[in-house]
A and B are shown apart, each in its own frame.
Chain A
């Protein structure tokens, strides 16, 4: 993470972050852009060609958009906390004085769960989640099923065929009875047992490490939600919005775009 880059970000989006009525609201006010749209709409009636905005004009407009440093810091902190970079968050807190919107110790717990799933210790992960908040798995049948499914996958991976079959019957089959789509997923998983060379079978991707990551991120999201925290960091969606806004504007005007998001450099409009 390059904080400097973020510091230089001066796009036409005015940001309002943090607890405004609700603590999860990312209230994006796209005022300067909207003004630009209106302005272009008014002038483009005269000419059919796209309106050209020079670098000078654009920078002037960008400078008019006031963005508070504190808001930017909150955005960074939100990213670190949600993604679970607890040490970085701690350091950033000390350096910038930004208070995280979540108890940092809970991040350690959450990361321990995530890591357990990533390493294939699913039973351990389940117990950890239940210690953290028993409600999570009791009220998320889909997540609970996916964790149990992951447990089955790990048993199969380790060649414990008998134990796997017993586990599937005992723990997973009743869930399949409750929900048709679970049953289909269970059948797919048990199919792993039918192949000698699992790495080359149609359901082989279940054994892939990406399956663990998928399950781990599902648990991570559920824990965040249970802590009244949004499951996704705000920063990526902000970047998506920036791209969207640039594309919208591009239809009406030629302007200095940001193409390289790691440097956030303005590229001169090609005329």
Chain B
């Protein structure tokens, strides 16, 4: 037993690795191996002390099998679950030597080599194996054909690790990898799991490979995968489900039948409760399965998925990866169905998710944000604490997060929540949220700009005058004008809605539009006349409609934009064009509102404006709209009625 204190000191042990005496060296190596296996802290410590290159050297110098096996196992352990370890191994140049051990005449060395390489190939930091090169591909197939089970598992792991592009998938498929992997499905349970795992990466998002796989041996392979979803081993059930989900995602017709979807949902929900890797990874697979499909979300609901996941969250002490998976699945469950959201809130899920906003793992923080975003899609649940400080403040803190992805997700969630804030908008100011949003709205990352402007837009929604003024104080007129002309169309659209909310219902606020030499109104004019999408056009017209609800000056300015003088060189019939736009009923309604506000009889210039509008041939276009099948009569009725009342016959 190596229990004397001196022997256990890491520095001494590392020294022992370079001892001249082979006996001392081997003993140090064995001790090192036994100390680091299962112990992340120690692995890290020994990596820092430079143990990895010393162990790698032992592979190079043609050592005897006993030493080789220990050295290989030690390297494998350094590479297991520790990025720094993998980096050190790659840097030490040990990978080629490890591969060469697979040709060693001693079966024990081969076994150890295959195990260690397999662990190293689990890490994302391990360089990709070059599948596209003929020589490498041949070697990979020699591994797949090996008599040694562990070596075949290694081959499957390499495929899973290195097959990413369509080209690589095609190359592997062309070399007959599907047949080989199908053969492994018949092997031991470890081979079967490795095969399922790598099949998922070979078929991923590749319709062509999927159809090949499905047709393999007249569909027998597919049905054996189906059978494996009911295997006794939880891990196998999970991997078989994941493969079927990957097939369905690449080629939706493969996973059409509701029965098989229901089966998958049921199996995955049950797996969530399994201890170990199967349980850890099941929520993520469940989330992938129910993503964007209301039908499957309903199925999940019928097997109490929300209850089970919430129960799990309440248990606490969940590791980061499964936790992110659970939040991801819950977010998907709450993305469309109001019943699920209500259920989630009634199970007190929200405070738990709010806590996760401060989690140390990036993945968990992102998933928590997305979860809150999806729950706050519901209008009915507003009062249930969504506008609570305990959610808003941590979200705003995340605007500063080191990860851009977290920032984007936090902005998305905040944006949704802000719509519901009617009375507590001041919270956002108090904790510096507006300043942050404005800063992010000029970010170089377009996703951040889109979400930041969208959040500001929602903050502006139905805000009181003081709140609007405070926002503009931070945002400034010039920034808003440049956002309206942002290169990203979504930013343009959100910026126009922000402006529409700003000028809605308050004459004083309309003045912002004309301040600083009309920076903003000029930007709006450009967008209305040259918009790249209908959505932008609609919002531009609504901005004008809201301005037209202002005073006499405002109305005349809108007239000037919509009915330019011939010398401006603009097409006179833009309103007619919009009224006759067959692609978008919304644009037609927006245009009607604009006309209604311009021709409101309470203002002195109305008669003159009506005459000009009529002169442009608008009446005819409006009359045609009475029979417009796309327009909602509830909207159209009052609109046309208003025009009828206001316009002198």
Contacts and interface: CB of A to CB of B under 8 A. Distances in A.
Interface of A: 21-26, 123-124, 126-127, 130, 133-135, 137-142, 144, 171, 174, 178-181, 226, 228-230
Contact of B115 (A124, A135, A179): A135
List the 7 closest A-B pairs by CB distance, nearest first. Answer: A180-B317, A228-B188, A144-B38, A137-B38, A174-B41, A134-B73, A228-B189
B77 A138 contact: yes
B400 interface: no
Given A24-B189, A26-B232, A180-B316, A134 B37 contact: yes
Contact of B224 (A21, A140, A229): A21
B232 A134 contact: no
B37 A22 contact: no
A214 to B, nearest CB: 15
Q: Could you tell me the dominant secondary structure of chain A's interface residues?
A: helix
A252 to B, nearest CB: 26
Interface string B445-483: 000000000000000000000000000000000000000
Given A126-B34, A174-B39, A180-B316, A138 B1 contact: no
A138 B34 CA distance: 10
Nearest to B316: A180
Contacts of B316: 180
B186 interface: yes
B579 to A, nearest CB: 64
B241 to A, nearest CB: 16
Interface centre among B30, B34, B37, B77 (most CB of A within 10 A): B37
Interface in B30-50: 30, 33-34, 37-41
Given A123-B1, A230-B232, A138 B188 contact: no
A133 B71 CA distance: 13
Nearest to A137: B38
A137 B232 contact: no
21 contacts: A21-B186, A21-B227, A22-B192, A22-B236, A25-B232, A123-B1, A134-B76, A137-B37, A138-B38, A138-B77, A138-B80, A138-B81, A138-B119, A142-B276, A144-B38, A144-B39, A174-B39, A180-B316, A228-B189, A230-B232, A230-B233
Contacts of B224: 21
B189 A23 contact: yes
B190 A228 contact: yes
B34 A22 contact: no
B149 interface: yes
Nearest to A175: B39
Contacts of B56: none
B551 interface: no
Contacts of B76: 134-135, 138
Given A126-B34, A134-B77, A134-B115, A22 B231 contact: yes
B319 interface: yes
B591 interface: no
B537 interface: no
Contacts of A133: 115
A130 B191 contact: no
Interface in B179-236: 186-192, 224, 227-228, 231-233, 236
Interface string B268-300: 000000011000000000000000000000000
A22 B38 contact: no
Contacts of A127: 30, 34
B144 to A, nearest CB: 17
Contacts of B37: 126, 130, 134, 137-138, 144
Given A25-B232, A26-B232, A127-B34, A178 B40 contact: yes
A170 to B, nearest CB: 9
Nearest to A163: B3
Contacts of A139: 80-81
Contact of B186 (A22, A26, A137): A22
Nearest to A231: B233
A126 B39 CA distance: 13
Interface string B316-342: 110100000000000000000000000
Residue in B34, B38, B41 whose Cβ sees the most chain A Cβ within 10 Å: B38
A135 B232 contact: no
A39 B255 CA distance: 37
B230 to A, nearest CB: 10
Nearest to B78: A138
Given A135-B119, A174-B40, A23 B188 contact: yes
B41 A228 contact: no
Contacts of B276: 140, 142
Nearest to B41: A174
Contacts of B33: 130, 134
B110 to A, nearest CB: 14
A134 B236 CA distance: 22
Nearest to B122: A139
A111 B73 CA distance: 22
Given A134-B33, A144-B37, A171-B39, 7 more contacts: A21-B224, A22-B236, A126-B34, A134-B76, A137-B37, A139-B80, A174-B39
Interface string B368-393: 00000000000000000000000000
Nearest to B224: A21
Q: Which of B188, B224, B276 lies at the interface centre, i.e. has the most chain A CB atoms within 10 A of its CB? A: B188
A49 B275 CA distance: 45
B115 A22 contact: no
A181 B30 CA distance: 30
Contacts of A124: 1
A130 B73 contact: yes
Interface in B59-97: 73, 76-77, 80-81
A228 B231 CA distance: 14
B232 A181 contact: no
Query: Which one of B39, B190, B192 has the greatest number of beta carbons of chain A within 10 Å?
Result: B39
A139 B37 CA distance: 9
Contacts of A179: 317, 319
B119 A24 contact: no
B323 to A, nearest CB: 12
Contacts of B40: 174, 178
A231 B1 CA distance: 30
A141 B38 contact: yes
Contacts of A23: 187-189
Interface in B536-569: none
Nearest to B277: A139
A254 B220 CA distance: 42
A173 to B, nearest CB: 9
A105 to B, nearest CB: 13
A23 B231 CA distance: 11
A265 to B, nearest CB: 31
Contacts of B187: 23
Nearest to B82: A138
A230 B34 CA distance: 26
A21 B33 CA distance: 37
B81 A24 contact: no
Nearest to A144: B38
Contacts of A228: 149, 188-191
Given A22-B189, A123-B1, A138-B80, A130 B119 contact: no
B618 to A, nearest CB: 69
Contacts of B319: 179
A23 B30 CA distance: 35
B154 to A, nearest CB: 12
A140 B38 CA distance: 8
Contacts of B30: 127
A141 B280 CA distance: 13
B309 to A, nearest CB: 19
A259 to B, nearest CB: 29
Nearest to A26: B232
Nearest to A182: B317
Contacts of A180: 316-317
A109 to B, nearest CB: 13
B383 to A, nearest CB: 34
B31 to A, nearest CB: 10
Nearest to A229: B189
